Structures are given as structure tokens and as C-alpha cells.
Structure 1
């Protein structure tokens, strides 16, 4: 008999907590990669915000204190939130922000340092997405992930693309072997979504994997059959 129990993060609530408090995931896995200034800041920032939410500290990202939170509690929450954010920074990056006690100011300072929204950076990022192309040997999952990271970076710079434009950019990044797929997706349509394109690409890659596995299995069967026939001949 199979045990159908599933381990779930336990929650705890202090009955004396103020109205803004909510259940906190006490044993949640907070797997945030340490940021050293060279990685993907947008993705790291998203993971840090998730960690703050899981710890019940996301209220600290507000610029001003909510009316129903006492000043002493507000200071404690911010110190805890700042500690969480700094723990996700490398020692070299952490040093410049070691004295900050406001989570909001800390996150803004990090954005200003690593995610500048000036025209030069926007131009650089737009060039990257418009020149985005498939790298031979890359899995389609990695290709789509890289594309989504570029889109996220641009969104963090307040640059927004229409979904159809993103779908067309993705299709334009594919190699010649995908020409039939492009034609199938676009033929007779006035609109196509990025989600539709990605689902189709995932399905195509999955079919390829299944075909390779099937082909490998057939080859192995033929080899075994050949060895068996050879043994029978040798016995004669």
C-alpha cells in the first residue's frame, strides 16, 4: 500500500499578532543564490522578494509604515528584512549596504546599482532581445528560459512589449529546421501568443526525445538479436 501523505510546510500564527500578520512558512526552503554583482539581478531580486514573503517580512518593502503597525515593530521588521536581503549578497557586495536599516531603501539602492534604467542600458538590452538567436546544441527549455530572462530585465526597466511581438521575436530566433513549424503557427492567423509558441516548441522537443529513445531501443534489440543469431551459428 502506498503512503499518500505529503510533507507540507507547517504554519504558525501568534494569536497576539497585529492585523497585518499572516501565517508564516516556518520550514520553507529559501534557496536564494548569493548575488555577487555578475549574475542575473532581476531573477535574484524576484527570489529575494519570495523569501521575504515566506518569512512574513514583505511588508517591509513598503516605503512608509502602515498605520496599524507600531513603530517598534516596524523597526524590527525592517532590520530582519535587511538581514535577509544582505544574507543573499556576497561579502563584497554586502559591505556597501551594511549600515542600511530600511528594507525599502536597501532594495532601491540595489536596483540603482545593478538595474539602472538609463537609455544606454535600455538600448543594450533591446539590442540583445532583437538579436536573440538560437545557439546550436541548446535545449529548447534553456533557449526559452534565456529569452524570458531578457524580457524580465526589460520589464524591470519599465519597457513593455506586446505579447504578439514577443511571440514573433521568439519565432524569428529559431533555426531553419523550424520553418515548417513557423508556417503552421502563423498561416491564416492575425494573432499568435508567446505562450502558444512556447507550448508548441516544448511539444516538438518532447517528440524528438521520444523518437530518439525509441530509435535507441530498436537499435539495441537488433544488436541483441544479431548476437543471439551469431551464437546459434557458432554452435553448429
Structure 2
């Protein structure tokens, strides 16, 4: 998986390959499927993959899939929350030459715009 590829797309492609292999009587153990999925993730998922691999004794493909979807959902929620706090919609982007700071434990955002 390349950085920036949607997780859903990656999981769909992976599941399609697994199904194609099953159709030609090639079976891949669940543990191996887990390792393949986790090792195919980009470097930004390294901590996530390590947590799943070493956090449980037994892990299913569904556990990996659900954890990936949860991570994505949590990230999207966080990104949307920041946009809403900034008064932006998902279609809008921040202007160049601006800096936004957030103080911990607060919902107050200070935005400074620099003029040339």
C-alpha cells in the first residue's frame, strides 16, 4: 500500500486477492493473512501494526480490518473537528501564509495570518 491510498481500497484489493487464491484452491492461513496485511501498510502505520502484533496472542483478519477502519474513522473525525473549529468546510483549505495554534485542553484556536 502506498502512502495516501485509502485503507478501504487496500483492504478490498487484499480480500479480492485472497478470494482469487481460494478459487484456485490455494488457502492462506489466517495468521499469515494478518501478517501480510500489516506488513503491506505504509511506514506511517508502523506503530499501529506493532501494537496489533504484540498486543494480543491471537488476532483475526477481522480484528485487523476493524482496527484499521477504526483508526481511519478516528483520524477523519479529528480532521473534521479541527476544520469545524476553524470555521472551514472539508472543501476549503487553509490560506497560505497562515499559522494556527491550539492550546492543550482547550477548544480555542488562535489563527494568525501573515501579510507580505
Asked whether the two chains share a fold, i.e. TM above 0.5, the reply is: yes
Q: Which whole-Å CA distance do the structure 1 matches of 2:61 and 2:12 have between them?
A: 13
Of 78, 82, 104, the match for 1:215: 82
- 1:27-176 correspondence to structure 2 within 5 Å: 134-176=1-43
Q: Which whole-Å CA distance do the structure 2 matches of 1:201 and 1:188 have between them?
A: 15
Q: Which whole-Å CA distance do the structure 2 matches of 1:189 and 1:163 have between them?
A: 15
1:193 counterpart residue number: 60
Q: Which whole-Å CA distance do the structure 1 matches of 2:62 and 2:39 have between them?
A: 15
Deviation at 1:186, TM superposition (A): 1.6
Q: Which whole-Å CA distance do the structure 2 matches of 1:197 and 1:152 have between them?
A: 17
TM value normalised by structure 2: 0.70
Which gives a bigger RCO, structure 1 or 2 (Cα 8 Å, sep 6+)?
2
5+ residue gaps, structure 2: 89-116
Secondary structure of residue in 2 paired with 1:146: helix
Q: Deviations over 1:86-130 (max 9, x none)?
A: xxxxxxxxxxxxxxxxxxxxxxxxxxxxxxxxxxxxxxxxxxxxx
5+ residue gaps, structure 1: 1-133, 222-236
Which structure has the bigger radius of gyration? Answer: 1
- Count of aligned pairs between the two proteins: 89
Higher share in helix: 1
Deviation at 1:188, TM superposition (A): 5.2
Q: Which whole-Å CA distance do the structure 2 matches of 1:181 and 1:188 have between them?
A: 10
Q: Which whole-Å CA distance do the structure 2 matches of 1:137 and 1:176 have between them?
A: 11
RMSD: 1.7
Secondary structure of residue in 2 paired with 1:174: coil
Secondary structure of residue in 2 paired with 1:220: coil
Higher share in strand: 2
